[in-house]
Amino acid sequence: MLETIVTALLPIIVTLMLGFFAGWKHNFTQQQAGVLNSMVMLYALPLLLFAGILSTPLAEVTGNIALFVWTAIGMIGGLVIVFAVSMFVFRSSSGVAALRAIAIAGPAVPFVGTPVLGVLFPGDADLVIAVSSLLMNLVQVPLALIFLVGASQTAGSPVTAGAATAKPATSGLATALHAVVNAVRQPVVWAPVLAFVLLLVGLDMPHYLKGSFTLLGQATGGVALFAVGIVLFSQKVSVSIPVVINVAAKNIVLPAIILLGMRAFGISATETSLVVVTLAIPTASIAVIFAVQYATAQKEMASTLFWSTILSVITMGGFIWITG
């Protein structure tokens, strides 16, 4: 079991270390990491999401309500709760709160889910991966972008290529509306939404076309993680109270709460284990991509990703053992 988890996580750690080494050797700078992230955000990731969602059978999404509901509670409910706590308890800005929310409630299912869940749950892995990907790309990413774009406009801070241009806010309503418009214009938002709409009307992607979208799309994980490694060197990995809270909430608290909830409602052991292990997957790199893209909490997000990934070998193994 431990070998399965290590096999899934080792490529992530190695790619992060390669990026870190490239930064240490001064082969790439943090500014160049921003260019790599722009490529991911504007082209590679939207292509991957579009092809992946449009290739998902609609029956897989609608056929298992309990699995969908509890995954949604963990990812969407967790997102809302973390955002509210960060905003109103820790007095963070909306941009930082959005990043913390997606870092804690957003598991790296597209990158880690297939090798881990595919081995543990060969019959149900595709369903939870599809559901998690849809929830992240259709709900979490757009909501995070709305607050990140709004925060950058309010602060008047510059962002890297591909992000919306900051403009002074004339009113709270105008800022919110402008943030929504700018967020919807991002390819990483409208591409999966378009794919989901096409899926609902009965269209799917022909097999001979999928490769045209995934050729560049498959570079998403490697390029993003390599850029994260560069940022890790540039920002220096830290251990701070926010990072400790983020990692503990992501790797332990959120999966544990969902585990207790599913057992309290009498959900089957297989479904409980599947959802809990999914939520115990380490932080998705999208949090760091957004942090770099919008120049917000970069060191905190990079450190959260690093420690969440490293420690997940232990925490995921623990939840796999607990859930049987």
pLDDT value, residue 193: 83
Domain count, the chain: 1
What CATH number should be reported for the domain holding residue 42?
1.20.1530.20
Tell me the DSSP string of 144-180. HHHHHHHHHHHHT----TTSPPP---SSHHHHHHHHH
Mean pLDDT score across all residues of the chain: 83
Torsion angle, alpha carbons of 278, 283, 286, 288, to 10: 180
| Mean predicted confidence (pLDDT) in 114-121 | 76
Angle subtended at Cα 288 by Cα 309 and Cα 275, rounded to the nearest 5 degrees: 50
| H/E segment holding residue 309 | helix 298-323
Please give the span between the terminal C-alpha atoms of the chain, in angstroms, as a whole number.
11
- Side-chain half-sphere CA neighbours of 295 within 13 A: 16
Contact 190, 184 (CB under 8 A): yes
123-151 confidence digits (pLDDT tens) = 677 778 878 887 887 788 888 888 887 76
- Identity of the residue numbered 174: A
Question: Residue written as tokens 């957004």?
Answer: 290
Q: How many CB atoms lie within 10 A of CB 123?
A: 8
| Mean predicted confidence (pLDDT) in 186-190 | 83
- Among 149-163, 171-185, 226-240, 258-272, whose mean pLDDT is lowest? 149-163
Q: What is the C-alpha separation between 220 and 57, in angstroms, rounded?
A: 23
Looking at the predicted structure, is the pLDDT value of residue 155 above 80? no
| Mean predicted confidence (pLDDT) in 12-30 | 91
Q: What is the C-alpha separation between 190 and 41, in angstroms, rounded?
A: 12
Q: What is the C-alpha separation between 303 and 288, in angstroms, rounded?
A: 9
pLDDT value, residue 172: 43
pLDDT value, residue 253: 98
Write out the two tokens for 22.
Answer: 């490239």
| Mean predicted confidence (pLDDT) in 267-281 | 92
Write out the two tokens for 222.
Answer: 């490697």
Looking at the predicted structure, is the pLDDT value of residue 113 above 50? yes
* Residue 292 belongs to domain spanning: 2-323
Looking at the predicted structure, is the pLDDT value of residue 264 above 80? yes
* Per-residue CA distances from 177 to 10, 20, 169, 173 (Å): 42, 39, 10, 6
The pTM assigned to this predicted structure is 0.74
pLDDT value, residue 180: 65
Q: What is the C-alpha separation between 136 and 133, in angstroms, rounded?
A: 5
Looking at the predicted structure, is the pLDDT value of residue 104 above 90? yes
Looking at the predicted structure, is the pLDDT value of residue 158 above 50? no
- Side-chain half-sphere CA neighbours of 61 within 13 A: 17
Q: What is the C-alpha separation between 33 and 286, in angstroms, rounded?
A: 14
Q: What is the C-alpha separation between 186 and 274, in angstroms, rounded?
A: 32
Q: What is the C-alpha separation between 49 and 110, in angstroms, rounded?
A: 10
Write out the two tokens for 184.
Answer: 């919807």
- Identify which of 297, 286, 284, 303 has the alpha carbon closest to the alpha carbon of residue 41: 286
pLDDT value, residue 82: 97
